[in-house]
Amino acid sequence: MINVRIWNENIHDKEERIKAHYPQGIHGALAGIFSDCENVRVTVGLLDDEDQGLSEEALADTDVLIWWGHHAHDKVTDENVSRVIRHIHGGMGFIPLHSAHHSKVFRALCGTSCNLRWRHGDRERLWVCDPHHMIARGLPDHFEIPAEEMYGEPFDIPSPDETVFIGWFSGGEAFRSGVTFHRGGRIFYFQPGHEEYPVYLNENIRKVIRNAVYWAAPCEREHRCIECINAAAPEGEKA
């Protein structure tokens, strides 16, 4: 069983234009990715929850933490940020999505500004750079996101351990859209997911996030093996 916790600041989600495509919020759309995964248990933490949804009890019971934030990075208390980082150092997987590049947690883990170039309203083509990577399983060699916010280089992060995806935008920019780091736990930063577009309903995007959870989940074994992956994967997605 993999315990996934989806953390969302849940601010944009209250706007009508966002509710139009995410009636259950961004966290609801993300939770739906795992609705048919028998071996994944999902919990949700929101900024407005007690302990900002980041209590010791909740994190101790989390294998992989997915994080969506944009407007309220500074509202997450330093105490909670330290607690999340301690759990990642202890082996918890961490998947910061989209504007979580500027979350306190991701910046602290990277030790850099994590600044990037951005522009509203573009079309993105996501290229798989590492087709044998577990996170790229079952994907075509590239796919398109019809509407997405442009994130472009330079992206001020340390050299990633792996670059799984590179995004190309119709405005001409390119971006390291899916990158991994090891900081005790496994970290996968994934760029798509601007709130104004229904990106998390895209089947390929959902597959990436699901794969990333299997990849980032801590494993008792010294080396992750195909048996572990298959034990966690739903029927039809076994390697």
Question: Which stretches of the chain bind Zn ion, using CB under 5 A?
Answer: 99, 149, 194
Q: Cβ of residue 27: shortest distance to Zn ion, in angstroms?
A: 16
Q: Cβ of residue 156: shortest distance to Zn ion, in angstroms?
A: 17
CB closer to Zn ion, 198 vs 218: 198
Find the residue with minimal CB distance to Zn ion: 194
Q: Cβ of residue 196: shortest distance to Zn ion, in angstroms?
A: 7
Determine contact, residues 158/114, Cβ cutoff 8 Å: no
CB-based burial label for 17 (10 Å; 0-12, 13-18, 19+): exposed
Handedness of CA 27, 33, 37, 40 (dihedral sign): negative
CB closer to Zn ion, 25 vs 185: 25
Please give the order of strands across the beta sheet that includes 174-183. 40-46, 2-8, 64-68, 93-97, 185-190, 174-183, 162-169, 117-128, 142-152
CB closer to Zn ion, 80 vs 99: 99
Q: Cβ of residue 232: shortest distance to Zn ion, in angstroms?
A: 30
Q: Cβ of residue 148: shortest distance to Zn ion, in angstroms?
A: 9
CB closer to Zn ion, 98 vs 186: 98
Determine contact, residues 135/211, Cβ cutoff 8 Å: yes
CB closer to Zn ion, 52 vs 99: 99
14 φ/ψ sector (left φ>0, alpha ψ -120 to 50, else beta): alpha
